[in-house]
Amino acid sequence: MRLDIISIFPEYFAPLDVSLIGKARERGTLDVRVHQLRDWAHDVHKTVDDTPYGGGPGMVMKPEVWGEAIDDVIEGGSPRMVVPTPSGRPFTQELAQELAQEPWLLFACGRYEGIDSRVMEEYSGRLRVDEVSIGDYVLAGGEVAVLVMVEAVGRLLPGVLGNAQSAVDDSFAPGAMRNLVEGPVYTKPPLWRGHEVPAVLLSGHHGNVARWRRDEAIRRTVRNRPELAAALDPATLDKHDRKL
């Protein structure tokens, strides 16, 4: 998978040189290219923003600069374009799975009050353009959101996770974990400061362990994410004696 990221703060993406994503880049599974938007601003100050039409606070990113940058980066190709914005569709595990199937993603990182909407309008005619939000809170720009999405998507690519089963057991994963969050996890020692590991996990009985884990996942979902639990099959809740 090729990932292009356009930003006025390319240094935000240094974390993509380390850990799982860094190793995937070394192996060639991921080809990440970060671009400085100001390289396409031609005035002496490398200006990328201007005052908003209609008035109001803050500044808006100029369409001309974005248009030149995107045209140069895509070179007539057709990546799927992802634009982080507080007003976007929710970024979910399902969307991460969908994006992980794409051969080429282009992330446009806005700053200030956002990117002139005509940029998304222009490229929607040529590319699949998704305006996406990572949550109901406001950031200062799109860079952190892109880091979140790149990690969520990158870990789903073949060979990136040491154990492919991890992605299957993830919270929110399609299939058995749909609308569920994961239960608690434990490791050695069996006793720590008077806290014991649940005996079932030491029993070696795989069926009982699987049942316990699912029960704990449902218990935690009901407690922490009742809106997800509401989407669970009522039979699932009954079988695990869980009430909303």
| 81: nearest Cα among 25, 19, 127 | 127
End-to-end CA distance of the chain: 41
The label of the residue with tokens 């952190």 reads 144
CB-nearer residue toward ligand JFB: 26 or 121: 121
Measure the CA–CA gap between 47 and 58, rounded to whole angstroms: 15
CB-nearer residue toward ligand JFB: 92 or 203: 92
Q: Which of 31, 72, 113, 196 is catalytic?
A: 113
Buried b (16+ CB within 10 A) or exposed e, 193-225: eeeeeeebbeeeeeeeeeebbbbbbbbbbbeeb
Nearest-5° Cα angle at 31, 81 to 33: 65
Q: Residue 210 CB, nearest distance to ligand JFB (Å)?
A: 35
Verify whether residue 27 is a known catalytic residue. Answer: no
Q: Are 183 and 151 in contact (CB under 8 A)?
A: no
Q: Which of 52, 63, 86, 198 is catalytic?
A: 86
Q: Tell me the one-letter amino acid at 238.
A: D
Q: Which of 79, 143, 155, 213 is catalytic?
A: 155
CB-nearer residue toward ligand JFB: 140 or 185: 140
CB-nearer residue toward ligand JFB: 79 or 110: 110
CB-nearer residue toward ligand JFB: 53 or 137: 137
Q: Which of 4, 116, 143, 170 is catalytic?
A: 170
Verify whether residue 103 is a known catalytic residue. Answer: no
Q: Residue 234 CB, nearest distance to ligand JFB (Å)?
A: 32
Measure the CA–CA gap between 139 and 161, rounded to whole angstroms: 29
Verify whether residue 174 is a known catalytic residue. Answer: no
Residue ranges that bind ligand JFB, judged by CB under 6 A: 84-86, 88, 110-111, 113-114, 133-135, 137-142, 145
Taking residue 28's Cβ as centre, other Cβ atoms within 10 Å add up to 7
Q: Residue 9 CB, nearest distance to ligand JFB (Å)?
A: 11
Verify whether residue 170 is a known catalytic residue. Answer: yes
Q: Residue 243 CB, nearest distance to ligand JFB (Å)?
A: 33
Buried b (16+ CB within 10 A) or exposed e, 144-183: ebbbebbbbbbbbbeebbeeeeebeebbbbeeebebbbbb
Query: Looking at the annotation, which residues are catalytic?
Result: 86, 113, 155, 170
